[in-house]
Amino acid sequence: MNINRITLKLLAAAAAGVMFAACEPELTDSRTFDLSYPGITDIAPSTNINITPTWIGGTPSDFQVYRVKLDGETYETDCFSADPVSGAFYVRNTDALPTGLYSISISCKCGGKSYKFPDIISINMMRPVPSGIKVEPAVIEAALADILDENSEAVLPTAQITTEGEHISITKYAISSARRNGSAISDFAKMFKVSSTGEVSIIRSTSFVPGEYVLDFKLNTYVVDDSSQEGIFADALTVKVNSAPLALQYTPASGLAEFGTAFTSAAPVLTGTAEGAVYSLKSVVPEGAPLAIDASTGVLSLSEGNTLPIGTVINASVSVSNAFGSKDFDNAFTVEIVDFINPVTKLQYADTTVIEGTKVNIAVKESNGDNVSYSFVDLPEALAGIISIDETTGAISLAKGNAAPAGSYTVKVKAENVKGSIEASFSLKIDENIYRFTYVRWGNNLGLSPAEKYADQFKITSTTESMKIPVLASDIREGVTAKYTLKNGSKNNYITVDGSTGELTIDPTVFTAETDRRVHFCYIVVTTGEGTPAEWSKKIPVFFNFFCAHDGVEVDFVPFVFQCNPRTGGVSAAPRVSGVEAAKFTMDYRRTFNFYNVAGPDSHIDGQPNVADGFLHSVWAAYYASLNVAINTGSRDPVSCYGRPGTEAARPCYFRMEDHALLVNPEKWKDDAGYANGVFIGQVTFGTDGADPAGAAAPRRIFPLAVWFDTAFGNE
């Protein structure tokens, strides 16, 4: 176990938050399977929570809790469970559960493989707060429109945490966790805040949707004649976010009915306050058609024995009202009257042979019937979550780069409509892809081993002599030709790559001034089978530190690439500093912050915090929203140890003053699209007089560290 892993575990225990684990990292464009759950903060006995997981890669199944530990020791309990199909994690019946730090390990299956995620969730079960603490009022209500509108003049309601009598005093307030309609949410820090005096307020945020939010609080209390203690005030405050009807969706939004027969739709999904919602028909075309609606559920029904002529298309517009308004939804559903709904009597797919990892589209060879839906039956486990089917056309597909293993499979499909169903099978043969590979490594010259646990990173100290760096290892098959090409990262004017061998040549003469010598990275794109259907390609970041003393001071991080899991956070190695009296050395992030997306969501756009659609803008915005302060994209505060006081827990990251290691807070490097999978590099300034180095001029402006985020890092 390396030092970063140890540090991560200690931080998780100290923060009493949530830890996640995943599979060994793969430094490629393709997304390996990975599982995560929204963060759970401290909870108290009697708390019930539902947690819905997310994942990248194929769709997993067969979820199980395979181990529970309490304070590091195996513990038997049935209070924690996982839904085997959806993976939803349940906390139930915890009234008698001892307090302490629980680590829950989850297993699942995906793509024919079994995965274990040790200690993927950590829960700090704390004691309840003493009796006599309450929130007034215990329920507050606000209109969604007033919350979403930053310019609204409406005053949002607040609540006050208080005590009965004078035997209890509260010395510290914090929001522990929040649930929306019973399910835990991870971004509550952007939505609610509690002041140092216990006033709870709503933060205007686009994260809100209509629903009922329940908040738990973590309080430090002092009871007369007793010592100070920390506890959880569970289910303390309910916040009802109300809205008039906003959207209405029937799925499917149309149907067929044979002449004279009845028809019933599915219940619609309403966006808006569902409590007390009343559904009615605004209009039915043709007028007088015997279509009815259930006022409480919105289900539409056509009466048996109706005499509507064949060819009639009934178009229903629906009105929905609740205590906060009403809205009409035109053309919400259609029903066509037909003389006969053809049953499904034919279904055939052609036997198909494909190459491992390639894009595949398989159309229905023969089928009939009206309003047919298609689905897999007893899909082979190895294909689960990898192969997909279009429910309306029956088209079957596998995405390029899919993880379906080579082999022969029997795929069974069911086609069905209101008249019945039919099943058909076909053979899918997946031939091995000789061009497929999983890694190419150049290693490092820092003495870090094993090389596969560290980024490809090289320290360059010469200013005159070029460096040759051959490929250290790969699993490209013998006899397969690979093509290596260079792609820019932060800069690439110092490097060339041999297109056939992958050998890198570094020219340090392009960086002459002290201020030019810094950490850079570029991508090497490795391609095999170019131009063939089985072409395989991976984009691999390689890092370089053009190292020198700045103003006589050396700030040397080893490693200088901090591989960090954005879900769990962590602490980098502390730098080796020389050329200055240790007690007077200071350093801090200052400016020129850049994010480079490696393999994250496409919406994680590169650039600095002032790029409106960029990923760093969302990280800066979340920090300021948690403080209920207007965003300042030109400020260092979100990542500064000398910035806004008292915001350590809200900052995405900052250098610790005591040892100058970088501390990355968990759950900060993400947005609605997902967690960061990319590189963060920012300018650092340093001082030699013990003061905040914010005003340091060149050459005390350096770039000594790159942070590479990936949810696969920091795991066993």
**β-bridge mates for residue 275, sequence order:** none
Instruction: Give the separation between CA 518 and CA 405, rounded to whole angstroms.
Output: 43
119: left (phi over 0), alpha (psi -120 to 50) or beta: left
End-to-end CA distance of the chain: 7
Which pLDDT band, with edges at 50, 70 and 90, does 479 fall under?
Answer: very high
Per residue in 274-285, pLDDT (tens digit) is 989 999 999 999
Which of 485, 487, 496, 489 lies closest to 526, judged by CA? 485
Beta-carbon count within 10 A of 78 CB: 9
Which pLDDT band, with edges at 50, 70 and 90, does 115 fall under?
Answer: confident
Per residue in 250-272, pLDDT (tens digit) is 988 999 999 999 999 999 999 99
φ/ψ (deg, to 5) at 373: -120, 145
Confidence check: pLDDT of 635 > 50: yes
Does pTM surpass 0.95?
no
Measured at the CA of 522, the angle between CA 635 and CA 669, to 5 degrees, comes to 40
3-state SS track over 161-187 = EEECCCCEEEEEEEEEEEEECCEEECC
Instruction: Look at residue 13 in the predicted model and tell me its pLDDT.
Output: 32
Instruction: Give the separation between CA 682 and CA 668, rounded to whole angstroms.
Output: 17
639 close to 626: Cβ distance less than 8 angstroms: no
Q: Could you please report the per-residue DSSP string of 525-564?
A: EEEESTTSTT-EEEEEEEEEEE---BTTBEEE-SSSEEEE
470 close to 463: Cβ distance less than 8 angstroms: no
Over range 160-179, report the average pLDDT: 84
Confidence check: pLDDT of 185 > 50: yes
Q: Are strands 653-655 and 701-702 parallel, antiparallel or unpaired?
A: unpaired
Q: Could you please report the per-residue DSSP string of 205-253?
A: -TT--SEEEEEEEEEEEEETTS-EEEEEEEEEEEEEEE----EEE-SSS
Which of 217, 14, 233 lies closest to 124, judged by CA? 14
Instruction: Look at residue 41 in the predicted model and tell me its pLDDT.
Output: 60
Which pLDDT band, with edges at 50, 70 and 90, does 716 fall under?
Answer: very low
Beta-carbon count within 10 A of 263 CB: 20
Which of 172, 184, 189, 166 lies closest to 232, judged by CA? 172
Instruction: Give the separation between CA 178 and CA 173, rounded to whole angstroms.
Output: 15
Q: Could you please report the per-residue DSSP string of 366-403?
A: EE--SS-EEEEES--GGGTTTEEE-TTT--EEE-TT--
Per residue in 92-105, pLDDT (tens digit) is 888 888 888 888 99
Confidence check: pLDDT of 38 > 80: no
Instruction: Look at residue 4 in the predicted model and tell me its pLDDT.
Output: 34
φ/ψ (deg, to 5) at 452: -70, -15
Collect contacts of 313-318 with beta carbons under 8 A, ≥24 apart.
313/337, 314/284, 314/285, 314/286, 314/289, 315/284, 315/285, 316/281, 316/283, 316/284, 316/291, 317/281, 317/282, 317/283, 317/284, 318/248, 318/268, 318/279, 318/280, 318/281, 318/282, 318/293
700: left (phi over 0), alpha (psi -120 to 50) or beta: alpha
Instruction: Look at residue 207 in the predicted model and tell me its pLDDT.
Output: 84
Confidence check: pLDDT of 227 > 80: no
Which of 542, 626, 544, 635 lies closest to 588, judged by CA? 635
Confidence check: pLDDT of 581 > 80: yes
Collect contacts of 20-24 with beta carbons under 8 A, ≥24 apart.
20/117, 20/120, 20/121, 20/565, 20/567, 20/568, 20/711, 20/715, 21/117, 21/118, 21/119, 21/120, 21/715, 21/716, 22/117, 22/565, 22/711, 22/712, 22/715, 23/115, 23/712, 23/715, 24/712, 24/715
Which pLDDT band, with edges at 50, 70 and 90, does 2 fall under?
Answer: very low
Which pLDDT band, with edges at 50, 70 and 90, does 482 fall under?
Answer: very high
Instruction: Give the separation between CA 315 and CA 330, rounded to whole angstroms.
Output: 9
Which of 393, 417, 257 lies closest to 343, judged by CA? 417
- CA distances 102 to 64, 75, 91, 227, 511, Å, are 16, 9, 12, 25, 51
Over range 374-383, report the average pLDDT: 90
Confidence check: pLDDT of 18 > 80: no
Written as six digits, the tokens of 333 are: 């559903």
**Residue type at 690?**
G
Domains of the chain: 29-125 (2.60.40.2710), 133-242 (2.60.40.2710), 260-338 (2.60.40.2710), 347-431 (2.60.40.10), 440-709 (2.60.40.2730)
Confidence check: pLDDT of 249 > 80: yes
Q: What beta strand segments (E) does 418-503 contain?
A: 420-431, 440-441, 456-460, 467-469, 473-474, 482-488, 495-497
Written as six digits, the tokens of 205 are: 């945020």
Per residue in 314-372, pLDDT (tens digit) is 999 999 999 999 999 999 999 999 999 999 999 999 999 999 989 999 999 999 999 89
How many residues in total does the chain contain? 716
φ/ψ (deg, to 5) at 513: -75, 150
Over range 400-429, report the average pLDDT: 93
Average pLDDT, the chain: 88
The single residue listed with the structure tokens 């049953």 is: 343
Of 714 and 660, the structure prediction assigns the larger pLDDT to 660
Which of 287, 286, 291, 331 lies closest to 312, judged by CA? 286
Instruction: Enter the DSSP assignment of 607.
Output: B
Instruction: Look at residue 23 in the predicted model and tell me its pLDDT.
Output: 33
358 close to 387: Cβ distance less than 8 angstroms: no
